[in-house]
């Protein structure tokens, strides 16, 4: 082989490896979390619940009523995704939410929040709590990520209810993308690494080119894409590993998440898919689009197959005499 051809092959091989997806090294931010439950009682998804919020920020004067109301609204939104109905009359469960913020050091604050589920308004059946330190005095700075992770541990209705989101005007799609996506990091309960959208291009003089990346299709659904990368609770691995061994991290060099939404004031049903490509810095969006009914159903089928593979791998214990050595039968 001529020397020039050899050099070209080597360069192409290096470039090929450089473009290969990897398991992300940069993990998402996460608060310390603990989940406790009464194994004898299961919370019924879709139940009517009453939500009570209490707490205080010790270093700030005044009443925390507005903060309590803000937290309640956020929790109601997250619970509604899972099919729970927030009602004060004749609830099946009471969700008691307690938060606290205090000064930890001269430059750090400590925030905490706990959600306790009570049956018959008094019997605790489930509790989730998180605690984190921050340079920001405002507990709301990280609260969406914390609450999303806690509520994701609750049972949910299957299939999950479609989530209403606003429809982005085509004339303002780039504006929305630049403000809501560029330079931002996202984190969903489904994946351990952070998620990033592609950046925008600049001209030779450094000015921004007002054109969306080619990975972003069906731009009127941009708000749904943003919601999905922040709230997806399940992900489908698309990497190089084998499903026969789910713990293999190479399975997660690439992934896909999906969800159903109601777009705009007309509540048009939309099936959203987002493909993610693993880099050292996290997952980068390599495609997001509105899927056809057939395409989305194929995704759901593969996701069900993945769950089955995980369950089969985790079925460690024999039932009756199944799988026992022959000597134990004698």
pLDDT tens figures, 216-266: 999 999 999 999 999 999 999 999 989 999 999 999 999 999 999 999 999
16, pLDDT greater than 80: no
- Would the CA dihedral through 303, 309, 314, 318 be positive or negative? positive
* pLDDT band (50, 70, 90) for residue 58: confident
Q: Which pLDDT does position 83 carry in this prediction?
A: 87
- Would the CA dihedral through 95, 75, 113, 146 be positive or negative? positive
17, pLDDT greater than 50: no
Whose CA is closest to 97, among 81, 83, 110, 113? Answer: 113
CATH architecture, range 32-151 = 2-Layer Sandwich (3.30)
Instruction: Copy the structure tokens of residue 117.
Output: 């589920």
Whose CA is closest to 313, among 243, 260, 250? Answer: 243
The pLDDT tens digits of the residues spanning 302-321 come to: 999 999 999 999 999 887 66
CA angle 15, 19, 23 (to 5 degrees): 140
The more confident residue out of 135 and 63 is 135
Q: Which pLDDT does position 11 carry in this prediction?
A: 39
Q: Which pLDDT does position 121 carry in this prediction?
A: 73
Token match 């009914």: residue?
Answer: 293
Mean pLDDT (whole number) for 129-145: 91
Q: Which pLDDT does position 37 carry in this prediction?
A: 87
Mean pLDDT (whole number) for 200-222: 94
**pTM recorded for the entire structure:** 0.83
Q: Which pLDDT does position 5 carry in this prediction?
A: 43
- Sketch the domain layout of the chain as residue ranges: 32-151, 163-313
Q: What percent of the chain has pLDDT over 70?
A: 91
CA distances from 89 to 78, 92, 325 (A): 20, 9, 57
211, pLDDT greater than 60: yes
Q: Which pLDDT does position 319 carry in this prediction?
A: 75
Whole-number average pLDDT of the chain: 88
160, pLDDT greater than 80: no
Q: Which pLDDT does position 171 carry in this prediction?
A: 95
DSSP secondary structure letters along 245-288 = STT-GGGGGEEEEEEEEEETTTTEEEEEEEEEEEETTEEEEEEE
């Amino acid at each position: 082989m001529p020397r020039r051809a050899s050099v070209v092959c080597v360069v192409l091989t290096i470039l090929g490896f450089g473009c290969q997806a990897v398991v992300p090294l940069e993990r998402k931010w996460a608060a310390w979390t603990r989940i406790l439950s009464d194994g004898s009682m299961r919370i019924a998804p879709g139940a009517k619940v009453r939500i009570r919020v209490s707490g205080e920020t010790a270093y700030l004067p005044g009443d925390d009523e507005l903060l309590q109301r803000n937290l309640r609204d956020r929790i109601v939104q997250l619970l509604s995704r899972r099919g729970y109905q927030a009602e004060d009359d004749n609830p099946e469960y009471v969700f008691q939410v307690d938060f606290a913020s205090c000064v930890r050091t001269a430059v750090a604050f400590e925030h905490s929040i706990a959600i306790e589920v009570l049956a018959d308004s008094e019997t605790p059946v489930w509790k989730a709590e998180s605690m984190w330190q921050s340079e920001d005095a405002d507990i709301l700075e990280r609260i969406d990520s914390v609450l999303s992770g806690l509520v994701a541990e609750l049972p949910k209705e299957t299939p999950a209810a479609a989530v209403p989101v606003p429809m982005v005007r085509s004339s303002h799609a780039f504006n929305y993308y630049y403000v809501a996506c560029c330079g931002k990091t996202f984190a969903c309960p489904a994946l351990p690494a952070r998620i990033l959208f592609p950046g925008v291009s600049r001209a030779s003089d450094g000015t921004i080119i007002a054109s969306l990346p080619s990975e972003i299709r069906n731009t009127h659904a941009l708000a749904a894409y943003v919601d999905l990368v922040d709230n997806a609770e399940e992900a489908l691995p698309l990497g190089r590993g084998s499903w026969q061994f789910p713990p293999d991290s190479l399975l997660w060099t690439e992934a896909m998440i999906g969800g159903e939404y109601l777009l705009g004031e007309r509540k048009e049903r939309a099936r959203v898919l987002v493909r993610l490509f693993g880099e050292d810095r996290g997952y980068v969006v390599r495609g997001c689009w509105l899927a056809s009914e057939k395409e989305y159903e194929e995704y759901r089928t593969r996701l069900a197959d993945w769950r089955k593979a995980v369950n089969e791998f985790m079925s460690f214990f024999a039932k009756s005499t199944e799988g026992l050595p022959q000597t134990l039968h004698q």
